[in-house]
Every structure is written in C-alpha cells, then in structure tokens.
Amino acid sequence: MAVTSDPLIGVLLEDRYRVDAKIATGGMSTVYRGLDVRLDRPVALKVMDARYANDSQFLTRFQREARAVAKLKDPGLVAVYDQGLDGSHPFLVMELVEGGTLRELLRERGPMPPHAAAAVLRPLLGGLATAHRAGLVHRDVKPENVLISDAGEVKLVDFGLVRAVAEAGITSTSVILGTAAYLSPEQVSSGAADARSDVYAVGVLAYELITGTTPFSGDNPLTVAYQRMDNDVPLPSTVIGGVPRQFDEFIAHATARNADERFVDAEEMAEDLDAISNELALPKFRVPAPKNSAQHAAATAFHSRPTDDYRAAPPAPAPPPVPPPAPGVKNPTRQLIRDPQDWQPTPIEDENVEAPSQFAGIDIGEFAWERQRARRSLVFWVLIVLLLTGGVAAAGWMLGSNLGALI
C-alpha cells in the first residue's frame, strides 16, 4: 500500500512560513517543522483541522488566545510568535523545541526518582505560575503538552487551545482520550476550570512521574473521568516503594477533590516543591530529552532532503523514515529506583574550559621546544661521559698490561 505524502509539505503559509516536515498529528491539529523564510528561523507550525476554518467563533477565540499567550514570557513556556489563516488552515507559529515530549521520555525510561520528577515539575510550575498571574488557565496539562529540549529545558505548550475548541462546539474523541486522565473533578462535573484545575492536573502528572502510571483507569474516557468524582488520587507510596512522605503529601494536596483544599495556583505549588527539594536535599538534575522522538525523526527527514534555496518550497518528500520503536514502558515495581543508571544526577561539565597556553610563565610551544632541546643536550653529554670513561678504562688496561716491561 502506497503512503500518501502530506499535501501541506512544501506549502508556504501566508507567503512566509514554509511547511517542511510533519512532527505529530492529534485530534484537532497537526504539528510541523517549518521555516520563517522572512527571518530565516526554524519554527513549529501547529495547523488546526480544516473543520475549524469556517467557524467564526473559534477563529475569534483562537486569535484572542494566541495574542494573550504571546505576551507571556517564561523559560517554562513555549513562545508563540504568530497566528494566521491560510485558506482552510488556521495555524499557530511557535518556538521550535528540538527534543521530544514528556510522554515519549516516560515511554523510554519509565518512573522517575524524586530528584528527576522535581526537575520536570519546577520549570513546568514556573511557566504555569506566569500564566496564572496573567489570568490564563491551561486546562490541558498532560505529558503530551510538556516538551523537553536536547539542552534539558522543560516547556509547556498549547495554552488556550482547549478553550477555543470548546467554545467552537466541536468535540473530538481523541482529544477526550488524551485529556480524561488529567481532568479535575470540577471540569468533569461542570466544565469549569481555574488555576486550581491546572494544579490538579499537575498533581496527577506528578503521580505519573513517580509511579509510571495514572491514578485512574477504565474501559473508556468517561469511566476514567468520573472515577475522580468519588475517589481520591492514591498515595504514590501505596503503588511503588521508596516514595518520600513529602511527595505523598504534595500530591495529595494538589489533587484534593475539593478545589478549595488545593494549592491556590501554580506559584504556591512551586513554593511547596522548593521547600520539599530543600528538605530532602535533592540533587540538581538535567532532564534528558527522549532519544526516539517524533521531533527528532522529523528533523532527520528534513535535513536529509537537499534544497538549493531555503526560500523555495521543497518538493514533496518521500515519507520520513520510521524511528526505531521505543522500548516498552518499564512497569513500576515495588521499589522506586529500579534502574539507577537511567536517572543518576550527573554534574554538568564546563564545556568552555580552554587548554592552558602557558606553563610556569612560558608559552606551551616554547616550553615544549626547550624541553626537547634539554633532552638532546642530556643525551649528548651522556655520550661524552661514556666516551671519556671508555678512554680512561682503555688507557688503564694498557698501562696495567705493560707495567712489568716498563719496570
């Protein structure tokens, strides 16, 4: 069966943003690697499904949310550069994060020890806190919306899209499937959401980081969603051994069924996480990007395709190579740290340290030359000493042999 190439590959959206390679497809959008040909800058293009193009209510909300999110500046947030509509394609232009998603990392490595989980949660909460101070709510915090760069940066993406889609009155089974595990009780019961709803989702995410699984499961999204109405999120220590008491309390506080009993927002939750990290003396840790990510596969497909002019839309490429299958999820065991080599905190070496140009005040080149000359001189004098010693010995032998004759 032949694989049909994506018709958007090579298209220049609004005569500025070239679509280069597909990264991932979701229920309401497709994300591409692209290029801003005006600034010669790689970007991520989130192209919404064509069904939204004729929905004026969605487009209005989409533009409004994009403007609001573009004003946010925080290292824990993916920057939004632009938004537009090209024919039947509403799209967002965002910062391109070279790396992968937290979901892909969890699939590769499984549950995290506390210091690794804290390293993921801290920048995530920092980005959410910036949004909450601006009066914005994410509504869809989940591993798929957390990106990890090759440099170890953790960033949250997709602010405002859930609200825009909800107001458009268009639902998607895949969207519900991806969100059900992280919905707060009030989102399930009434659809209402505020900063405390994001706190609940981060609490569920923290539970998953520690245990390797979400707290509720079921045969369908509705079953999963409604379980949290009558059940508390279990303590992680009841699922996997070795979890510090402080993390049990942290997750229980974030996932209280009554919203009034949770952290009021991401900033308060971050302050509690910092206190726990200090109390447990958690080591610094750089979060690794997943190796077999969709983004890496898209980058490989793009860079392996020759183009003469970066402004010219490239021809439709052959289907990108399928990345090797990621190892199966490592099922949680009775112990928290199953594979220490996966999550060992490693010191970050200083790559800017230069080799010294001098030794003992002498240039390295001159020092090496002097050392070689000294070695030659030493060899020369050793030879002279040997020759002199040999001469003296020979003279002594001859003198001794002829001593009788001389007497």
Q: Which residues are catalytic?
A: 140
Burial 10-38 (b: 16+ CB within 10 A, else e): bbbbeebbbbbbbbbebebbbbbbbbbbe
Distance CA 389, CA 328 (A): 77
One-letter amino acid of 28:
M
**Inter-CA distances, 283 with 67, 110, 247, Å:** 38, 20, 16
Distance CA 112, CA 146 (A): 16
* 286 sits in which H/E element: none
Nearest by Cα to 58 from 175, 190, 139, 170: 170
Residues 6+ positions from 200 with CB-CB distance below 8 Å: 182, 184, 185, 254, 255, 259, 262
- Only one residue has tokens 């004098």, namely 381
Distance CA 281, CA 242 (A): 16
Are 83 and 91 in contact by the 8 Å Cβ rule? The answer is: yes
- Only one residue has tokens 């240039």, namely 363
* Helix, strand, coil % in the chain, rounded to nearest 5: 45, 15, 40
Q: At what angle do helices 56-70 and 161-168 cross, to 10 degrees?
A: 170
